[in-house]
């Protein structure tokens, strides 16, 4: 029976596990066979640096595996990319990627190149990450926000990352925005979403104003900020991730999120106290 193996580059699990997934796939770490076969067939066939495999993949890395009569790589590619995105949503730090798929049959093998491997800190798939990932498997995430969040991980330039993340955040917090009022809505709604006190909301609103102005400078004048905005980009990524996870876990739409936030603003209430979300990650800005 054909075997499909997709190493998850730059990932590691603290201990062996096997997790059943939809579509007759499973996710595994610490199993000898997937690593040995991927190493045998992929290492010398990669278009990238020949040593990259050994740097990015080891026996405790994650492997996406399927053992079925019908290998539908093209049909399953979007789903594999979705799994990669949900894996990256499951951790606060660290980036993983699935750049290659190996298919193995008794008398032949094939290698499908999906994308370049992503750069970033090591992706550690611990028990907390597993819990989040399992919760996301059957959830429909806000499509535009999720797509732009994952695209931001692929960009090398901080300016491109910032633009992707602002598209994600606009789709979450100002889906009803019109030119001239988007910044105002973003400042208010995000301040009440992430802040629990007046001081926190004030700092968040000022950060949003500054960062959105940077976004406008990049779009309209092509300004290059480089690493000067790396901290801002990291904070925007935390904000986008937190909001995507919360809407997914609660099963609410971005329109419902917007209605909730407008009610909070009118009442002056705290989001967590008012709605008691299943999962909510506070974003802290230094004073």
Q: What are the domain boundaries of the chain?
A: 4-137, 143-275
Give pLDDT, residue 282.
77
Rounded CA separation 7/41 (Å): 12
pTM given for the model = 0.89
Average pLDDT over residues 171-200: 87
Give CA–CA dist 88/102, Å, rounded: 21
pLDDT at residue 68 is higher than 80: no
Please give the C-alpha separations between residue 195 and each of 202, 258, 262, 263, 285, in angstroms, as whole numbers. 8, 16, 14, 15, 10
Mean pLDDT value of segment 148-173: 95
Element (H, E) at 108: strand 108-113
- Give the mean model confidence (pLDDT) for residues 188-200: 92
Tell me the per-residue pLDDT of 228-250, one tens digit each, with 9 for 90 and over: 999 999 999 999 999 999 998 88
pLDDT per position as a tens digit, 92-142: 889 999 999 998 887 788 888 888 888 889 999 999 999 999 999 988 899
**pLDDT score for 107:** 78
pLDDT tens, 22-61? 878 999 999 999 999 998 888 877 755 557 788 889 999 9
- Cα–Cα distance measured from residue 93 to residue 121, given in angstroms and rounded to the nearest whole number: 7
Q: Would you say the C-alpha torsion 56, 57, 58, 62 has a positive or negative sign?
A: positive
pLDDT band at 179 (very low <50, low <70, confident <90, very high): low
CB 225 within 8 A of CB 216: no
């Amino acid at each position: 029976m054909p075997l499909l193996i997709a190493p998850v580059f730059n990932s590691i699990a603290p201990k062996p596990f096997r997790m059943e997934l939809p579509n007759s796939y499973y996710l595994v770490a610490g199993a000898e066979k997937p690593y040995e076969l991927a190493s045998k067939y992929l290492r010398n066939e990669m278009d990238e640096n020949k040593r990259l495999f050994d740097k990015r993949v080891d026996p405790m890395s994650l492997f996406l595996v399927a053992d079925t009569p019908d290998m539908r790589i093209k049909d399953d590619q979007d789903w594999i990319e979705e799994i990669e995105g949900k894996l990256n949503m499951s951790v606060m730090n660290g980036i993983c990627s699935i750049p290659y798929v190996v298919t193995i049959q008794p008398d032949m093998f094939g290698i499908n190149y999906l994308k370049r491997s992503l750069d970033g800190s090591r992706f550690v798939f611990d028990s907390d990450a597993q819990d989040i990932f399992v919760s996301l498997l059957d959830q429909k995430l806000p499509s535009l926000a999720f797509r732009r969040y994952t695209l931001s991980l692929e960009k090398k330039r901080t300016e491109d990352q910032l633009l992707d993340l602002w598209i994600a955040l606009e789709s979450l917090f100002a889906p009803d925005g019109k030119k001239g009022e988007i910044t105002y809505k973003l400042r208010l709604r995000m301040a009440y979403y992430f802040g629990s006190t007046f001081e926190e909301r004030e700092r968040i609103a000022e950060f949003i104003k500054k960062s959105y102005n940077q976004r406008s400078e990049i779009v309209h004048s092509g300004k290059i900020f480089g690493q000067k905005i790396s901290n801002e980009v990291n904070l925007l990524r935390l904000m986008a991730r937190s909001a995507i996870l919360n809407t997914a876990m609660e099963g609410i739409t971005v329109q419902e999120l917007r209605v909730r936030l407008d009610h909070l603003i009118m009442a002056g209430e705290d989001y967590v106290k008012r709605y008691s979300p299943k999962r909510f990650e506070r974003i802290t800005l230094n004073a």
